Amino acid sequence: QTLILRGIKKINQYIKNIHITVGYKGSALAKHVIENNVRSVINTNKKGNAWWIFNFPFKFLNEPIFVLTCDNITNVNFSLIEKDYIKKGMPDCFLIPVVPVPKLDGDFIHEKNSVVKKLSRKVKSGKYCSGIQIINPYKINKSVKKANNFNTVWKKLISKKKLIVSDVLPKKWFTIDNIEQLKIYKNKNL
């Protein structure tokens, strides 16, 4: 079973409208996910991971959208995260952090009172980005100019003090981007 299919089956219990962005090998992946209860597939081939926020009809959605990467292996408590999102004023972008995992690269989150001050690959902290977030595409389009990737979007939101981090962390989290990380994951028995 693929990582993406595993993730779809997990979140389908909580979220009924699942939309997938595909790039590399997009046609094969699109066929695979359409057969498994995905509402739509957005072709982002040769575009950045945030391109769809500014260039697709979702940009008119003035409501929260959960964004997850397909390489995450985790159990997300959607209702706790949603409560924290509402408690923090339903920001433009709401990062769900994780505790750093040895041998996995990530963007360390530096924050004060839940407002992200800096993201860094070098300067460590007790939290880093998981690839899970809640965004409001309409609000993001009103706050910042078009960008193709999330790192640029986040930097622009940080400068406006509009990137917020959740207090809710998944209990277990791992990401697999390559064969070496798959071996680490198998040895940890998560």
pTM for the model stands at 0.86
Tokens of 4: 């993406």
Please list the rounded mean pLDDT of every run of 10 residues in the chain (190 residues).
73 82 80 79 89 94 89 77 96 93 84 97 92 95 95 97 94 63 58
What confidence score (pLDDT) does residue 61 get?
94
For residue 113, how many other CB atoms are within 10 A of its CB? 8
50: Cα within 13 Å, side-chain hemisphere:
22
What confidence score (pLDDT) does residue 77 get?
84
Tokens of 3: 């990582």
Nearest to 75 by CA among 11, 142, 163, 152: 11
What is residue 92's DSSP assignment?
S
